[in-house]
Amino acid sequence: MTAGPLSQTSDVRPAAEPADLVYVLDDDHELCMSLAWLLESVHVRTECFTDADSFLAAFAPDRPACLVLDVRMPGMGGFHVQELLNAHDAVLPVVFVSAHGDIPMTVRALQQGAVDFLEKPYDPQRMLDVVQAALRVAGERYAQRAERREVVDRLAALSPREREILRQVIAGVPSKVIAKRLGISLKTVDAHRARIREKTAADTLGSLIGDMMRCGLHQSEV
C-alpha cells in the first residue's frame, strides 16, 4: 500500500499486471491503516489520506481506481470532495463510509454518483465485495473513456468539409441531397466519403457512426 505519510509501499503483483488502486480518504488514521491492510490482503494497492487537500493533490485522473470516502471530516467534507470530482468529470467510483449515516445522506451520495454507502463499523468482507465491484466499474469506465478518446482522435483528422459531410451522413441525408446542398457533384461527395473512411480507419461510415454512438458522441461533436 502507498500513501503520503500514512503507509508504506508494497508491490504485490507481477509487473506485467497493473495493480488495482483504491484511494482511502478518512480523517481517522487508524481506520485508514486498517482498511489498507485489509485491501492489501487481497492484493489491492491503497493510497491513504486524512485530509481532502492531500488527496486532491495526489489524485491521478488517468488511472483506474476507486475512492473510499468518509462523509464527515475536518475542513472539506466528503460531499464537497464528490462535488469537485463530478465538476471535473472524474470517472472515479466513490464508496462512502460514515459512522453517522442516515437515509437522506445515503440518497444524496447515490444521486451524485456514488456506487455504495457503508456504515461504520463495516463488515470487512462486505467492504472487500463493495471495493472489488467498484474497481470493476472503474475498469469499465476507463475503458469507455479510452475508446471515446480513440474515436475523437480519429475524427480529428478530418477536414472541415469532411466533417460537414459526415454530419449530414449521420443525419441520414442521401449523398445526392448532400451534393445538391453543398453545390458539389455526387462524385465529389463519394470521394469525401472515401477519405473519411480512410482517415478514420473505418471499414464503412456505418461502422464509424456505430463507434461514435457507442461512445456517446453526438452529431454536433463531429
CATH number of the domain bearing residue 172: 1.10.10.10
- Map residue 47 onto helix, strand or coil: strand
Shared-domain flag, residues 119 and 56: yes
Q: Is the pLDDT of residue 34 over 60?
A: yes
The count of domains in the chain is 2
Look up residue 66 and give its three cell numbers. 476507486
Q: In degrees, to the nearest 5, what angle opens at C-alpha 149 toward C-alphas 156 and 162?
A: 25
Residues 76 and 180 grouped into a single domain: no
> Which residues fall within 8 angstroms of residue 95, CB to CB, at 6 or more apart?
66, 67, 68, 69, 114, 115, 116, 117, 118, 130, 131, 134
Q: Of 186, 138, 146, whose CA–CA distance to 165 is shortest?
A: 186
Is residue 58, in this structure, part of any structural domain at all?
yes
pLDDT bucket at 216, cuts 50 / 70 / 90: confident
Same domain for 197 and 165: yes
Same domain, 45 and 136: yes
- Which residues on adjacent β-strands are paired with residue 94? 67
Q: Within this chain, do residues 45 and 115 fall inside the same structural domain, yes or no?
A: yes
* Residue 99 located in a structural domain: yes
- Band of pLDDT at residue 105, cut at 50, 70 and 90: confident
Domain presence at residue 179: yes
pLDDT bucket at 222, cuts 50 / 70 / 90: confident
Residues 92 and 197 both lie in one domain: no
* DSSP one-letter code for 220: G
pLDDT per residue as tens digits for the range 131-149: 999 999 999 988 888 899 9
Same-domain status, 117 and 169: no
Q: Do both 92 and 58 map to the same domain?
A: yes
Percentage of the residues of the chain whose pLDDT score is greater than 70: 91
* pLDDT > 60? residue 11: no
**Cβ-contact 213, 205 below 8 angstroms:** no
Q: H-helix or E-strand containing 29?
A: helix 29-40
The CATH number of residue 29's host domain is 3.40.50.2300
Phi, psi for residue 149 in degrees, rounded to 5: -60, -40
217 occurs within a structural domain: yes
221 DSSP 8-state letter = G
Run of H or E including 45:
strand 45-49
- 9 SS3 class: coil
For 175, other C-beta atoms within 10 Å of its C-beta total: 17
* Number of other CB atoms surrounding residue 182 within 10 Å: 15
Is residue 16 included in any domain, yes or no?
no
Q: Are residues 137 and 165 in the same domain?
A: no
**Is 5 among the domain residues?**
no
Structural domain that includes position 111: 21-143
pLDDT of residue 157: 93
Is residue 173 predicted with pLDDT exceeding 70? yes
